[in-house]
């Protein structure tokens, strides 16, 4: 049998507990067809030699705000707290439109691909104009990226005690009607899907109780996943105590979100009992190591949550709080953070890789097809490029070397059987035009002279 693509002579990390030294991955159509050892390679229409390289499943990004790359490292707010940073940027984000969201999504996906990410969610919760998520789906389809959009929302502006200006929030009916419209138009639950959608009110303090509970009801009706920020900041505890008379986790449970459908971003400040309850309910967490450290608050104990039975994935978080979107860097930072917190025996590079692949797939409820390279999986994989200078002397463990020596970038990224990064550069012909237009929109939004 002739396969379409053969990646050979690699150290193949197939899945947790399954690696093949000097191995190969055969792809047929958009699926992993087989994995094997040297000497057993099938005939292939195209062969890529990955000699001396590590091949892994594509990394999965479980939390992002792609539009924020229009305001990266925006000087007036770089040293603010989370809430200062948000209130400084909301007035700028009020100028988002379909074109700027298309461009920022396109750039975000190109950047993710270069960092070895093949599937990403996006949490798009600022809606100064309609049809912004439609623009995101256009960008993902133009690129061929596997995209899990989320319909984010906010109802509470400054006038109702919230943080954002009125122009970026929406009323309940608009949010719910648009959620249904987007689900019916774009959510493809079929095997190998390239476009899915979850419901994602921004946070407990930015939407009404009705939006939380109606989102959970819609998720049941349409069989969708649910996402939100939870326990990201200690001020959330104060807010929930005053407004709802309970903790953030108790409120999360009260509005019907403590279920297998939900994954949450951050989850830094719950009590021990609360972690146990949400783990038992099947909730997953996306840890965002770089964002948490730059904001200077706490961070979830990823290995601790896993030990309690809660799946943990990784997110690069919004481009304006993290200012980069490399999932390799997030995996490395997760490793540093875990060992800094719990000691050198607490976490290995394989744990970090498992979190970045299997953990992300669990967050998205997609473990059957992505986050591993078992035969039948989606053909989403990365051949990693590492500096020969940085790797000099690393001869004993290619997975540890990948995360410890670095910096690693994707030499080749394959999504759905198609090569989207080659020689460490995205293959999309339109990228330079998009970069130029992105710069124009970023300057407009930041009120800078053209």
Taking the complex as a whole, the smallest distance from the CB of residue 286 to Zn ion amounts, in Å, to 9
Question: Which of residues 170 and 287 has its CB atom nearest to Zn ion in the complex?
Answer: 287
| Total residues in contact with Zn ion, by rule CB under 5 A | 1
Question: Which of residues 170 and 203 has its CB atom nearest to Zn ion in the complex?
Answer: 203
What separation in angstroms does the CA of 400 have from each of 37, 212, 385, 404?
A: 21, 42, 14, 6
Question: Which of residues 82 and 391 has its CB atom nearest to Zn ion in the complex?
Answer: 82
Q: Which SS3 state, helix, strand or coil, does residue 262 take?
A: strand
Taking the complex as a whole, the smallest distance from the CB of residue 296 to Zn ion amounts, in Å, to 15
Query: Which residues are CB-contacts of 273 (< 8 A; sequence separation ≥ 6)?
Result: none
> Which residue shows structure tokens 């002739």?
2
Taking the complex as a whole, the smallest distance from the CB of residue 229 to Zn ion amounts, in Å, to 6
Question: Which of residues 179 and 287 has its CB atom nearest to Zn ion in the complex?
Answer: 287
Q: How crowded is residue 396: how many other Cβ atoms within 10 Å of its Cβ?
A: 7
User: What interhelical angle do 172-186 and 209-222 show, nearest 10?
Assistant: 20
Taking the complex as a whole, the smallest distance from the CB of residue 110 to Zn ion amounts, in Å, to 20
Distance, CA of 146 to CA of 156 (rounded, Å): 32
Question: Which of residues 44 and 264 has its CB atom nearest to Zn ion in the complex?
Answer: 264
Taking the complex as a whole, the smallest distance from the CB of residue 41 to Zn ion amounts, in Å, to 43
Residues 374-393 close enough to bind Zn ion by CB under 5 A: none
Question: Which of residues 125 and 402 has its CB atom nearest to Zn ion in the complex?
Answer: 125
Q: How crowded is residue 97: how many other Cβ atoms within 10 Å of its Cβ?
A: 15
Query: Which residues are CB-contacts of 450 (< 8 A; sequence separation ≥ 6)?
Result: 440, 443, 444
Concatenated DSSP letters for 174-199? HHHHHHHHHHHHH---STT-SEEEEE
Question: What are the residues facing 47 on neighbouring strands?
Answer: 6
Distance, CA of 179 to CA of 161 (rounded, Å): 24
Write the Ramachandran bin of 57: left for phi over 0, alpha for psi from -120 to 50, otherwise beta: beta
Taking the complex as a whole, the smallest distance from the CB of residue 128 to Zn ion amounts, in Å, to 18
Asked whether 322 and 314 are in contact (CB, 8 A), the reply is no
Question: Which of residues 86 and 103 has its CB atom nearest to Zn ion in the complex?
Answer: 86
Kindly write out the interface string for residues 121-160 of this chain, putting x where it contacts Zn ion by CB under 5 A and - elsewhere: ----------------------------------------
Asked whether 110 and 141 are in contact (CB, 8 A), the reply is no
Question: Which of residues 287 and 409 has its CB atom nearest to Zn ion in the complex?
Answer: 287
Question: What are the residues facing 31 on neighbouring strands?
Answer: 28, 378
Query: Which residues are CB-contacts of 189 (< 8 A; sequence separation ≥ 6)?
Result: 196, 223
Give me the residue whose beta carbon is nearest to Zn ion.
317
Max CA pair span of the chain:
69
Taking the complex as a whole, the smallest distance from the CB of residue 271 to Zn ion amounts, in Å, to 22
Question: Which of residues 9 and 317 has its CB atom nearest to Zn ion in the complex?
Answer: 317
Taking the complex as a whole, the smallest distance from the CB of residue 265 to Zn ion amounts, in Å, to 5
Angle (CA) 91-92-98 rounded to 5° is 115
How many Å from the N-terminal Cα to the C-terminal Cα in the chain?
57
Taking the complex as a whole, the smallest distance from the CB of residue 320 to Zn ion amounts, in Å, to 10
Residues 289-348 close enough to bind Zn ion by CB under 5 A: 317
Question: Which of residues 236 and 317 has its CB atom nearest to Zn ion in the complex?
Answer: 317
Taking the complex as a whole, the smallest distance from the CB of residue 82 to Zn ion amounts, in Å, to 10
Taking the complex as a whole, the smallest distance from the CB of residue 64 to Zn ion amounts, in Å, to 8
Phi, psi dihedrals of residue 219, rounded to the nearest 5°: -65, -40
Asked whether 144 and 194 are in contact (CB, 8 A), the reply is yes
Question: Which of residues 317 and 354 has its CB atom nearest to Zn ion in the complex?
Answer: 317
Q: Which residues bind Zn ion (CB under 5 A)?
A: 317
């Amino acid at each position: 049998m002739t396969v379409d693509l053969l990646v050979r002579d690699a150290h193949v990390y197939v899945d947790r507990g399954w690696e093949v030294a000097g191995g190969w991955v055969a792809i047929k159509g958009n699926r992993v067809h087989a994995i094997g050892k040297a000497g057993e390679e099938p005939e292939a229409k195209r062969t890529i030699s990955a000699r001396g390289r590590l091949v892994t499943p594509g990394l999965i990004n479980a939390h992002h705000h792609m539009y924020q790359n229009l305001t990266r490292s925006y000087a007036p707010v770089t040293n603010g707290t989370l809430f200062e940073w948000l209130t400084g940027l909301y007035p700028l984000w009020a100028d988002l439109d379909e074109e700027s969201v298309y461009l920022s999504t396109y750039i975000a996906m190109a950047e993710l691909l270069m960092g070895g990410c093949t599937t990403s969610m996006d949490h798009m919760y600022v809606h100064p104009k309609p049809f912004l998520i439609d623009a995101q789906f256009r960008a993902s389809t133009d690129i061929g990226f596997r995209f899990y959009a989320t319909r984010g929302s906010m109802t509470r502006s400054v006038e109702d005690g919230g943080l954002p200006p009125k122009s970026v929030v929406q009323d309940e009916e608009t949010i719910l009607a648009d959620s249904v419209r987007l689900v019916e138009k774009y959510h493809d639950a079929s095997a190998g899907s390239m476009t899915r959608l979850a419901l994602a009110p921004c946070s407990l303090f930015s939407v009404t109780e009705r939006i939380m509970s109606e989102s959970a009801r819609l998720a049941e009706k349409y069989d969708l996943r649910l996402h939100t920020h939870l326990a990201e900041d200690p001020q959330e505890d104060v807010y929930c105590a005053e407004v709802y008379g309970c903790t953030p986790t108790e409120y999360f449970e009260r509005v019907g979100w403590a279920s297998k459908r939900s994954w949450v971003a951050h989850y830094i400040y719950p009590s021990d009992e609360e972690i146990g309850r949400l783990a038992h309910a099947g909730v997953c967490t996306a840890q965002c190591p770089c964002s948490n450290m730059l904001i200077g608050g706490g961070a979830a104990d990823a290995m601790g949550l896993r030990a309690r039975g809660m799946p943990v994935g990784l997110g690069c978080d919004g481009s304006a709080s993290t200012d980069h979107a490399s999932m390799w860097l997030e995996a490395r930072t997760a490793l540093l953070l875990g060992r800094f917190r719990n000691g050198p025996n607490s976490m290995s590079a394989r744990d970090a890789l498992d979190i970045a692949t299997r953990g992300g797939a669990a967050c998205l409820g997609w473990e059957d097809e992505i986050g591993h390279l078992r035969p039948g999986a989606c053909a989403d994989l990365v051949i990693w490029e590492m500096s020969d200078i940085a790797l000099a002397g690393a001869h004993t463990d290619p997975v540890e070397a990948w995360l410890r020596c670095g910096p690693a970038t994707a030499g080749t990224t394959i999504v759905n059987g198609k090569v989207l990064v080659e020689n460490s550069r995205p293959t999309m012909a339109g990228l330079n035009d998009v970069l130029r237009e992105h710069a124009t929109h970023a300057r407009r939004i930041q009120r800078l002279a053209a």
